[in-house]
Amino acid sequence: MLAAVLTSFRQSVIFVCYHFRLLCIKLVLHRKTIYEKAFLCGRKAIGTLVIRDLTRKITSKLFLVNKIMATNRTGAAQRPNGATQGKICQFKLVLLGESAVGKSSLVLRFVKGQFHEYQESTIGAAFLTQTICLDDTTVKFEIWDTAGQERYHSLAPMYYRGAQAAIVVYDITNQDTFGRAKTWVKELQRQASPTIVIALAGNKQDLANKRMVEYEEAQTYADENGLLFMETSAKTAMNVNDIFLAIAKKLPKNEQTSGQGGSAQGRRLAEGDAGAKAPGNCCK
């Protein structure tokens, strides 16, 4: 029933709350605003309501899977008999790029499915995690979102040291940020672990009418340097999950065990050696 309604609404955008009052509330559990509107519908009033984000929710299946995975992990995955156990891999991923290109927004979209227009600037760095499911492997990203301002550059090595993956972000409406992205790529190629998987993200694709960096230009550059490349939009969620998924696919997932969880991560970050010596060998 639910699915049927959803598909039909992909085309027709009007939603009469009166008839679907209960259903409405069910649908919008993850979208607070619509939830509230639906709630206001009261007894006899008839109004109209749109579930605009709904289509988006359906297309980002990955997102839903993540959430389900996240809730299951604590329960099912840790069962001693190992009934549901696939491989679980942890990867450290770092986001780099000029400030205000949308690094924090990409992470927020990927991890929480949200977008804040007035996303606060990042000082120092922020850390978040997200788990995605890839065939039989569960990939856990430990994401370091860094500050963009040139001055914070000196901190950056602390974060990319030992990272198995990096997303270098630029803003397609600003040529300078693309230049800065190239510098980051160079720095990573020289300083980071040699096996690091680098992805280039041309963000703010929703503003394509103000584009200053051509798609082909960036694609060519990415090809020359062996980078993954996508144009993304944290605002519309376009390609956000996909770029992380593409990275997850490209990362080596061989069966080797590394130290236990948290403290190992910490040490690696601080001393910056473990990751460099054994890149990608963090599956357990």
Partner 1 sequence: MMVPLLKHPEMNFGAITFFARQHKEDMCGSNGLPLTPNSIIIYGRAQKLKTIKSPYLCQYLDIIRGKHERTIVVCQYCGVPLSNYLEKKKFTLDGIKRIAYQILHGLKLLHERNIVHRNLSCENILLQGENIKMFNYGLYYLTDNAKLVSFPVVQLLYAAPEIYLDGIHNSLPNPAVDVWAVGIILIELILDKSLWSSLKVGQRIRKILSLLQSNSSVFERIAREHNAYEEYLNVPEDLKEMIESVLNIDPTKRPTCEELLRNKIFSQFQTEQDSGDKELKNFEIFTIHELYHWWQLAGGDVLQELKKQGLIRSSPPILSLPHLVLIEGNILGQERNPATLYDPRVVQMPLDTLYQRFENIPLSSFYPLIRIKSDIISQFEPQPYDATGLPLIIKERDPEYQFHRIILFRRLLHGYPFTKDLIRKEAEKDIPPLLRGEIWAALLDIKCDYKSRYMKLDKYSITPTDRQIEVDIPRCHQYNELLSSTEGHKKLKRILKAWVFQNSKYVYWQGLDSLTAPFLYLNFNDEAKAFACLSAFIPKFLYKFFLKDNSPVIEEYLAKFSQLIAFHDPTLANHLYEINFYPQLFAIPWFLTLFSHVFPLYKILHLWDKVLLANSSFSLHIGLSVLTQLRDRLLSSGFNECILLFSDLPEVDIEKSVVLSTETFKATPTSITAREHDNDEYRTKDEYDITGVTLSDLKRERYPRVSARDVIDMIRTNPRKILVIDIRNMVQFNRCCIINSINIPFSSVSFTENKIENVGSNSAILEHSKDKVVVVVGDEETDLELVFN
Contact residue for partner 1 among 8, 74, 81, 154 (CB under 8 A): 154
Q: How many residues of this chain interact with partner 1, rule: CB under 8 A?
A: 53
Give me the torsion for CA of 93, 99, 104, 109, rounded to 10°: -100
Closer residue to partner 1 (CB): 15 or 198: 15
Q: Rounded CA gap, 210 and 213, in Å?
A: 9
Among the residue ranges 98-106, 192-200, 208-216, 260-268, the one whose residues contact Mg ion (CB under 5 A): 98-106
> Nearest approach, Cβ of 209 to ligand GDP (angstroms)?
11
Strand partners, 89: 139
Q: Helical H runs in 12-95?
A: 17-27, 32-39, 53-59, 61-75
- Residue 142 interacting with partner 1 (CB under 8 A): yes
Which long-range contacts (C-beta less than 8 Å, at least 24 apart) are formed by 2-11? Answer: 2/26, 2/27, 6/54, 6/58, 9/51, 9/54, 9/55, 10/54, 10/55, 10/58
Q: Which tokens is 210 given? A: 């103000």
Which of Mg ion, partner 1, ligand GDP, none interacts with 212 (beta carbon under 5 to 8 A by kind)? none
**Encoding tokens for residue 70?**
């996240």
Residues 202, 173 contacting (CB under 8 angstroms): no
Q: Is 146 in the site for Mg ion (CB under 5 A)?
A: no
5 binds, among Mg ion, partner 1, ligand GDP, none (CB under 5 to 8 A by kind): none
What is the x/- site pattern for partner 1, positions 94-133, by CB under 8 A?
Answer: -----xx----------------xxxxxxxxxxxxx----
The owner of tokens 């403290």 is: 263
Q: From the list Mg ion, partner 1, ligand GDP, none, which binds 203 (C-beta under 5 to 8 Å, kind-based)?
A: ligand GDP
- 147 φ/ψ sector (left φ>0, alpha ψ -120 to 50, else beta): beta
Query: Per-residue x/- mask for ligand GDP, residues 187 to 216, rule CB under 6 A?
Result: ----------------xx-xx---------
Strand boundaries in 159-235, DSSP class E: 165-171, 197-203, 228-231
Interface ranges with ligand GDP (CB under 6 A): 97, 99-105, 117, 119, 121-122, 148, 203-204, 206-207, 233-235
Interface ranges with partner 1 (CB under 8 A): 13-14, 37, 40-42, 45-50, 52, 55, 99-100, 117-129, 142, 147-149, 151-152, 154-155, 158, 173, 176, 204, 206-207, 210, 235, 261-263, 265-267, 269-270
